[in-house]
């Protein structure tokens, strides 16, 4: 019984789709440019961007420089945005700002260009060129339109995008720690703190710098241990001074005390070695 109902519904849907396509083909073949443009606006207002886009494109190609070309180019860029083709959207919003720099729509187009790059910004662990482009374009928007009501949104977008880059930098550095490349981990984690002064969880990053130095010292040859334990103690001191109330403070204090013990042991060992060499 279900199948008997289901099959006619599919047939009706297919027939309806075919009828829609025939109607659209008639619009495309209509010889009146004004009619085709009016249908483009109609499709756009109905949210049928995939139908509006070719008609707007035809108008821009055939009637470049005409009075209504400004509006058409603006809507054409939006068609790509709503169709989620953000690369082409960014291209045509940029095209709009260069073609009509004094337009009342130029501010919105500049913002939307940045937003297209933001939409193309991938997960933090992937290549981030579009993230950098988005930050650049949002900053350009803020500089160009400091009194715009979209400045707050632009600044928030910049903060979000920078947070993504910071996460990528941290995770890339932390990977060295996970694979037990402790010297590289220490260097990379220090660079994260230096290059990203506003990064979240700075105490956590410094904690892993301490642990990386400690493990690196533990695994070093005897002749290098004293120098590397001393470096560990320095990083512990940095942590203790900057983050005394951190949840990692107790463990860092324990590492610090154990490191001081190791320094004493190796200082004594060096002293005995020097005495023996003198004898």
Burial of 78 (0-12, 13-18, 19+ CB in 10 A): buried
Query: Worst-scoring range by mean pLDDT, 60-64, 95-99, 213-217?
Result: 60-64
Q: Residue 204: exposed, middle, or buried by beta-carbon count in 10 A (0-12, 13-18, 19+)?
A: middle
| 278 pLDDT tier (thresholds 50, 70, 90) | very low
Task: Please give the share of the chain, as a percent, with pLDDT higher than 70.
Answer: 87
Q: Which two tokens stand for residue 10?
A: 């599919």
Burial per residue of 149-176, b for 16 or more beta-carbon CB atoms within 10 angstroms, e otherwise: ebeeebeebbeebeebbbbbbbeebbeb
Q: What pLDDT shows up at residue 18?
A: 45
Tokens found for residue 274: 């020097």
Q: Show the DSSP H helices in the chain as ranges.
A: 2-29, 33-45, 49-62, 69-82, 86-99, 106-120, 129-144, 151-178, 182-195, 202-218, 222-242, 249-278
DSSP states along 145-203:
-TT-TTHHHHHHHHHHHHHHHHHHHHHHHHHHHHTT-HHHHHHHHHHHHHH-TT-S-HH
**Sorting pLDDT into bands at 50, 70 and 90, what band is 10?**
very low
CA proximity to 91, closest of 106, 113, 107, 111 = 113
Q: Which two tokens stand for residue 101?
A: 């720099």
CA distance 242 to 244: 6
Lookup: tokens for 155 = 């600044």
How many Å apart are CA 51 and CA 42, to the nearest integer? 10
Q: Is the pLDDT of residue 218 over 90?
A: yes
- In whole angstroms, give the CA distance from residue 177 to residue 189: 9
- Two tokens at 254? 């324990």
pLDDT in tens, 100-118: 999 999 999 999 999 999 9
Q: How many CB atoms lie within 10 A of CB 121?
A: 22
Q: Which of 155-164, 176-185, 269-278 is least confident? A: 269-278
Query: Is the per-residue pLDDT at 189 higher than 50?
Result: yes
Q: Which of 55-64, 133-142, 207-216 has the lowest mean pLDDT?
A: 55-64
Single pTM value for the model? 0.80
Q: Tokens standing for 183? A: 């010297």
* Residue 272: pLDDT band with limits 50, 70, 90: low
Using the predicted structure, report yes or no on whether residue 16 has a pLDDT greater than 50. Answer: no
What's the confidence (pLDDT) of residue 153? 98
Print the SS3 string covering 75-87. Answer: HHHHHHHHCCCHH
Distance from C-alpha of 205 to C-alpha of 197, rounded to nearest angstrom: 12
Q: Is there a contact between 129 and 103 (Cβ–Cβ < 8 Å)?
A: no
Q: What is the pLDDT of residue 164?
A: 96
CA distances 55 to 30, 37, 92, 105, Å, are 11, 7, 16, 21
pLDDT for the residue numbered 238:
98
User: What number is the average pLDDT over the span 48-52?
Assistant: 96
């Amino acid at each position: 019984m279900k199948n008997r109902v289901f099959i006619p519904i599919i047939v009706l849907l297919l027939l309806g789709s075919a009828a829609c396509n025939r109607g659209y083909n008639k619009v495309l073949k209509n010889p009146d440019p004004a009619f085709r443009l009016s249908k483009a606006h109609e499709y756009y207002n109905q949210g049928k961007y995939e139908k509006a886009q070719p008609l707007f494109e035809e108008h821009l190609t055939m009637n470049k420089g005409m009075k209504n070309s400004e509006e058409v180019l603006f809507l054409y860029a939006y068609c790509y945005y709503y169709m989620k083709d953000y690369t082409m959207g960014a291209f045509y919003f940029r095209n709009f700002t260069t073609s009509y720099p004094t337009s009342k729509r130029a501010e919105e187009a500049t913002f939307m260009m940045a937003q297209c790059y933001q939409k193309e910004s991938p997960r933090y662990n992937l290549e981030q060129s579009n993230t950098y482009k988005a930050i650049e374009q949002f900053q350009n928007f803020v500089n160009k339109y400091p009194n715009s009501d979209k400045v707050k949104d632009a600044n928030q977008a910049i903060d979000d995008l920078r947070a993504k880059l910071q996460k990528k930098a941290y995770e890339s550095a932390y990977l060295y720690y996970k694979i037990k490349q402790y010297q590289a981990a220490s260097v990379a984690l220090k660079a994260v703190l230096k290059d990203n002064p506003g990064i979240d969880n700075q105490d956590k990053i410094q904690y892993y710098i301490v642990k990386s130095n400690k493990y690196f010292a533990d695994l070093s040859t005897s002749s290098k241990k004293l120098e590397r334990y001393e470096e560990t103690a320095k990083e512990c001191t940095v942590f203790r001074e900057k983050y005394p109330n951190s949840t990692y403070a107790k463990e860092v204090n324990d590492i610090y005390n154990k490191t001081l013990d190791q320094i004493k042991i190796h200082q004594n060992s060096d002293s005995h070695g020097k005495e023996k060499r003198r004898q």
